[in-house]
Amino acid sequence: MAKLVTKITDRDTNFADWYTDVVREADLVSYSSVKGSMIIRPYGYAIWENMVNVLDTEFKKLGHQNVQMPMFIPESLLNVEKDHVNGFAPEVAWVTHGGDTKLEERMCVRPTSEVLFCEHFKNIIHSYRDLPLLYNQWCTIVRWEKTTRPFLRSREILWQEGHTMHRTAEEARSETLRMLKVYEDFQRNYLALPVLVGRKTEKEKFAGAQETYTIEAMMYDGVALQNGTSHYFGDGFAKAFGIEFLDEDNTKKTPFQTSWGCTTRMIGGVIMTHSDNHGLVLPPNIAPIKVRFIPIQCTEEIMNEITHITSDLEGITYDIDQSDKSPGFKFADAEVKGIPIRVEIGLRDLEQNVATLVRRDTLEKIIVPLNEVANKIKELLPKIQQDMYDRALKRRDSMIYETNDYQEFQKIAKEKSGFILTTWCGEEACENQIKDDTGLKSRCIKEEIQDGTCIVCGKKAKYSIYFGRQY
């Protein structure tokens, strides 16, 4: 047991090393000679597949259809919307040759697909009957990051990007918020992540968007992870691309647009919120394996008992560790992989007609009569899910500070980890001042306010807003 666990750096000693140790020891990723990219191994990919399945089902329920766009964007197409190209051009990978032939026009690997969707929308949107158009795409995007970390910041990112077009601005705005809510619910109910939800400032919004809404999770170390965004574009892209539709009143109009995306980064968020010095801790609702049975001896009697129990676990994914490793090794393996419940059954247990259930989140051992094991598992899984959320919420809330005093703000920023809620006039100069003085960036606007003064300039405040460090 010791062997596996000692490979993981202490979480409070060096959080960054702890993170990469967990990611490696839980067999989530591996590295290759492709700098900045990661190999997602079967166990890591199975977590992503679970995320994809839940979200894809939800999107389809709401009427979104999946499509597949090209992965390349010709330079001239990327250039159509100016804010957009300025935001993305510095971090794209350029394809310049096909085989031995130099391309007439270089193309980038998509960093996001707004321009590809817009070009397509121009071809297929003609009438108000074509709206709303609700599209989604699961794919890989590329952003040429200088510093990379598995799941958090990678040159290649697996994600989904929704792109929708609407008849009115109101409808598009409401779609932007509807999809933000889908992300929020998913992260709360499946990933057990308490998240802050709000609007990004002008400075932090997506290149080309009118408004960007964000899901901000707080990691164990108090640092923010932006875990999904939803953008309202207004008609900016549509006008740049000349997209028009004939409305019911027989006049030509420009449609309004949204896009929204979330990525494999969510796996990083799950790890950095819930995991511990023993390794990964997975919320049951997203865990590829929810229960692992560990026969202390692989006798026929014990295997029969396990078969008997599993026959009552309809719909709950489990596995049985029948390897020839020692029990201690098997326990540590179940722990490092974050399997929510492990069930240990040995010959002595059989004699006493019991099994030992171990909760991964608390490491609590629960001795249960054999004929109650299946029911106990069904009772524990949702409880573990809820407890993980509650603990993460409590911890996060204890690391949100609130102040209107700039000296205190700077003191908290220096001494504490976490977010600071404050009041702000809305001017970029004040936002930049905070960044320069403390290193903290705005996370999201909590709400518009009527009273109060800006923490920096002292003028009338417009917003209450969260600040924090970020991944």
User: Among 3, 57, 94, 322, which residue sits at the site for a copy of itself (rule: CB under 8 A)?
Assistant: 94
| Burial class for 333, CB neighbours closer than 10 Å (0-12, 13-18, 19+) | buried
34 touches a copy of itself (CB under 8 A): yes
Q: Closer to a copy of itself by CB, 42 or 369: give it.
A: 42
Residue 42 found at the interface with a copy of itself (CB under 8 A): yes
Structure tokens, 176:
């932007």
Q: How many residues bind a copy of itself (CB under 8 A)?
A: 54
For the bound state, the minimum distance from the C-beta of residue 352 to a copy of itself, rounded and expressed in Å, comes to 33
Residue 69 binds a copy of itself (CB under 8 A)? yes
CB 417, CB 438: distance < 8 Å: no
Question: Per rule CB under 8 A, is residue 218 in the interface with a copy of itself?
Answer: no
**Tokens coding 276:** 């511990």
Roughly what angle, to the nearest 10 degrees, separates helices 42-61 and 265-274? 110
Nearest distance from residue 157's CB to a copy of itself, in Å? 11
Please choose, out of 18-26, 85-93, 358-366, 436-444, the segment that lies near a copy of itself by the rule CB under 8 A.
85-93
> How many residues are given for the chain?
471
Using CA atoms, how far residue 430 sits from 70, 214, 436, 470, in Å, is 41, 21, 10, 19
Bridge partners (DSSP) of residue 276 are 279
Query: With contact defined as beta carbons under 8 Å apart, do 454 and 423 qualify?
Result: yes
Among 4, 54, 62, 93, binds a copy of itself (CB under 8 A): 93
Half-sphere exposure of 419 (CA within 13 A, CB side): 26
Instruction: Determine how many CB atoms are found less than 10 A away from the CB of residue 159.
Output: 17
Q: Which long-range contacts (CB under 8 A, 24 or more apart) does 4-13 make?
A: 4/279, 4/329, 4/332, 4/333, 4/335, 4/336, 5/277, 5/278, 5/279, 5/332, 5/335, 5/336, 8/277, 8/278, 8/279, 8/336, 10/277, 11/220, 11/275, 11/276, 11/277
In angstroms, what is the minimal distance from the CB of 384 to a copy of itself? 25
Single residue of 13, 61, 90, 407 touching a copy of itself by CB under 8 A: 90
- Shortest distance, position 185 Cβ to a copy of itself, whole Å: 24
Q: Is 448 in the site for a copy of itself (CB under 8 A)?
A: no
Interaction of residue 287 with a copy of itself, rule CB under 8 A: no
> Could you tell me the smallest distance in angstroms from the CB atom of residue 192 to a copy of itself?
24
Residue 100 or 415 with smaller CB distance to a copy of itself: 100
Among 7, 12, 14, 70, binds a copy of itself (CB under 8 A): 70
- State both tokens at 273: 């919120």
d(CA 301, CA 139): 48
Query: Would you count residue 72 as binding a copy of itself (CB under 8 A)?
Result: yes
Q: Which stretch in 41-49, 265-273, 338-346, 382-390 sits in contact with a copy of itself by CB under 8 A? A: 41-49
List phi, psi (to 5°) of 13: -85, -50
Q: Which of residues 131-190 bind a copy of itself (CB under 8 A)?
A: 135, 139-140, 142, 144, 155-156, 158
Judged by the rule CB under 8 A, the positions of this chain that interact with a copy of itself are 30, 32-34, 37-42, 45-46, 48-49, 65-74, 76-77, 89-101, 107, 109, 116, 119-120, 123-124, 135, 139-140, 142, 144, 155-156, 158
